[in-house]
Amino acid sequence: MSEHEISLIVNGRPRRGRVPARQTLVDFLRDELRLTGTHTGCEHGVCGACSVLLDGRAIRSCLMFAVQADGAQITTVEGLAPEPGGLSVLQDCFWETHALQCGFCTPGMLIAAHALLLKESAPSDEDIREAIGGNLCRCTGYKQIIDAVKLAAQRMSGLNRPEPSRG
């Protein structure tokens, strides 16, 4: 099995690795970099749990080899918050609207929704369904996820403010 040196930017930090040719990007992120927020649900590109941003686009890290990410900029769920220990507006809105239950698909959902909000500041319900249509959630029936994305879009446009209550 050939091995390859790669270097890439992950969540703003330069990272290097020596990877077997067959190692997927998600296995590299989880097992080598220990960024375990990205999950694997199907490993055949359907469920979307492994979604990460690659150069700003949401992609499935189970369908890409780590070696193909050489030179790329990757953002995982751990890189969404503006500061360590904090939450992005979108993450906070997921929490506020109860847009998750078991939390397993959540990182992929956040990535898909984050990518949508990067290009669309006022998405319609249909835009949101389209954006998360490739991410399977077994807990929520998607409703409170759609609520969260809408709320985040409004909040990022200054249309509302977070409620103070915390769990």
Q: Which is nearer to another protein, 61 or 106 (CB)?
A: 106
**β-bridge pairing 73-75 and 57-60:** unpaired
For another protein, which is the closer residue by CB, 7 or 36?
36
Closest approach of Cβ 69 to another protein, in Å?
A: 18
Smallest separation (angstroms) from another protein to the CB of 26: 11
Q: Could you tell me the smallest distance in angstroms from the CB atom of residue 167 to another protein?
A: 4
Q: Which CB, 71 or 73, lies closer to another protein?
A: 73
Contact 37, 121 (CB under 8 A): no
Nearer to another protein, 37 or 72 (CB): 37
Q: Between residues 70 and 95, which has the closer beta carbon with respect to another protein?
A: 95
C-beta of 100: minimal distance to another protein in Å? 6
Helix (H) / strand (E) containing 15: strand 13-20
The SS3 of residue 9 is strand
Q: Interface with another protein by CB under 8 A: which residues?
A: 20, 22-23, 30-31, 34-44, 46-47, 49, 76-78, 80-81, 87, 91-92, 94-98, 100-107, 110, 125, 128-129, 132-146, 165-167
3-state secondary structure of 105: coil
Sequence-separated (6 or more) residues with CB below 8 Å from residue 25 = 52, 61, 62, 64, 65, 66, 68, 69, 74
Find where tokens 């409703």 sit: 143
For residues 49 and 108, is the Cβ–Cβ distance under 8 A? yes
CA gap 95, 148 in Å, rounded:
8
- What is the nearest approach in angstroms of another protein to the Cβ of residue 1? 9
